[in-house]
C-alpha cells in the first residue's frame, strides 16, 4: 500500500468504502499512504508523532511498520527508534543496542550471538528479493565452532544454521560432545543450553561422585520459576513450554551426545517471541 498505484486504486473506490478502509488501517499504513499523492495526503494525514508518543507499544508497532518498508533501516527495541543499517558491513551492530535481557542464543562457549536485528533484517531482505541477495546471505551464514578444551569438556562441535521458512525465521543448532566426559572431580556435571528455560544436563553417577566424570547420565532440566520448582526429565525429544523451541537428543553407538534444536523466531511482526525467551 505504499506505492502511488495502490493509492490511485484506493481513490477509485466508493467514498464510504475508502473511508472504512482508512478507519481500520494500521497507523504505519496511513503514514505511507499520506506520502503517495496530494489527495491521499489529505485523507490519510494524521498527527503521527502525537498519536504514538504516549504509548510505547503503539510507537514500537508504528516504527516496526516503517522498518518493514525501509530497506536500510531496522527497528531497535532497546532504543525504541529506527537505526540505519549498512548492508555492506552486516556484522557491524551498535553494541549499545544489544538486548542482554532476552535469550537470543548468546552462547559464550561458542562465541555465537543472534540479535533481533539479524532476524528482522533477514526476513525483510528475503521478502525484498534479488537486489538484497548479498546482504541476506551474510546474515544467513552457518556458524561453526569446535573446541578441544572448554567448560563443556573436550571435543565440542557446534553449528548454528539460520533458515527462513513460510515467512518465519528459524535457527537450527547442533551440539556434538562426548557422552563420557573426563572432567575433574570438582565438576558435578555439564550443562548444554537448549533455550533460556531448558538445559541438557549430564550428571555424575551417584556412586562415582569423587572420581572422574565418566559414564554420565543425561537428562533435561527445566529452569525454576517463581511458580514451579526445577524439574528434571528423561525424555529425549520435545519442546519448551515457554518459547518456540523444539529439541531432540541422542547418544548413538559412537558414544557421542548429539543435540539438535530448532528455534522459531516468528515473522517480521512477531517481536513478542523475543519477550517469551526472557
The domains of the chain are located at 135-276
Is the model more confident about 57 or about 264?
264
pLDDT given at position 76: 85
Confidence (pLDDT) at 226: 47
Q: What does the alpha-carbon distance between residue 188 and residue 154 come to, in Å, rounded to a whole number?
A: 16
Model pLDDT, residue 137: 92
Residue 230 scores a pLDDT above 60: no
Instruction: Report the DSSP beta bridge partners of residue 82.
Output: 75
Kindly indicate the confidence band of residue 122, based on its pLDDT and cuts at 50, 70 and 90.
Answer: very high
- Say if residue 103's pLDDT is above 70: no
Over residues 202-211, the mean pLDDT reads 54
Under the banding of pLDDT at 50, 70 and 90, the label for residue 262 is very high
Burial of 21 (0-12, 13-18, 19+ CB in 10 A): middle
Q: Is the pLDDT of residue 142 over 90?
A: yes
pLDDT exceeds cutoff 70 at 2: no
Stated as kind and residue range, the H or E segment containing 173 is strand 168-178
Please say if the pLDDT value at position 209 is more than 50.
no
Rounded to a whole number of angstroms, the CA Rg of the chain reads: 24
Measured in whole angstroms, how far is the alpha carbon of residue 6 from the centre of its chain? 32
Mean predicted confidence (pLDDT) in 1-20 = 73
Pairwise CA distance, residues 21 & 43, whole Å? 11
pLDDT interval class at 90 (50, 70, 90): low
Q: Is the pLDDT of residue 201 over 70?
A: yes
Distance CA 156, CA 110 (A): 9
pLDDT value at position 166? 92
Task: Judge whether residue 105 has pLDDT over 70.
Answer: no
Helix H segments across the chain?
A: 4-11, 15-24, 27-33, 38-44, 48-53, 56-69, 116-128, 133-139, 272-276
Lowest pLDDT segment from 11-15, 70-74, 154-158, 201-205: 201-205
> Is residue 127 a contact partner of residue 151, using CB atoms and an 8 Å limit?
no
Amino acid at each position: 500500500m505504499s506505492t502511488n498505484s495502490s493509492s490511485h486504486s484506493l481513490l477509485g473506490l466508493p467514498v464510504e468504502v475508502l473511508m472504512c478502509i482508512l478507519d481500520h488501517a494500521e497507523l504505519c499504513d496511513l503514514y505511507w499512504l499520506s506520502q503517495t499523492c496530494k489527495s491521499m495526503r489529505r485523507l490519510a494525514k494524521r498527527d503521527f508523532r502525537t498519536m504514538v508518543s504516549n504509548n510505547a507499544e503503539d510507537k514500537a508497532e508504528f516504527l516496526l511498520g516503517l522498518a518493514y518498508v525501509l530497506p536500510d533501516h531496522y527497528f531497535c527495541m532497546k532504543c525504541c527508534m529506527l537505526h540505519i543499517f549498512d548492508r555492506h558491513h552486516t556484522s557491524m551492530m551498535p553494541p549499545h543496542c544489544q538486548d542482554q535481557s532476552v535469550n537470543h542464543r548468546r552462547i559464550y562457549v561458542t562465541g555465537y550471538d543472534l540479535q533481533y536485528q539479524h532476524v528482522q533484517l533477514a526476513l525483510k531482505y528475503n521478502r525484498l528479493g534479488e537486489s538484497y541477495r548479498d546482504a541476506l546471505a551474510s546474515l544467513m551464514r552457518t556458524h561453526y565452532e569446535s573446541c578441544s578444551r572448554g567448560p563443556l569438556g573436550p571435543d565440542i562441535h557446534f553449528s548454528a544454521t539460520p533458515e527462513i521458512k513460510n515467512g518465519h525465521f528459524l535457527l537450527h543448532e547442533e551440539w556434538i560432545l562426548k557422552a563420557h566426559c573426563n572432567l575433574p572431580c570438582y565438576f558435578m556435571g555439564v550443562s548444554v543450553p537448549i533455550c533460556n528455560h531448558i538445559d541438557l544436563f549430564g550428571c555424575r553417577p551417584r556412586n562415582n561422585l569423587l572420581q572422574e566424570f565418566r559414564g554420565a547420565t543425561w537428562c533435561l532440566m527445566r529452569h525454576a520459576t517463581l511458580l514451579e520448582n526445577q524439574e528434571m526429565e528423561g525424555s529425549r525429544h520435545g519442546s519448551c513450554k515457554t518459547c518456540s523451541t523444539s529439541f531432540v537428543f541422542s547418544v548413538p553407538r559412537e558414544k557421542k551426545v548429539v543435540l539438535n534444536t530448532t528455534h522459531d523466531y516468528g515473522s517480521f511482526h512477531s517481536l513478542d517471541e523475543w519477550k517469551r525467551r526472557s
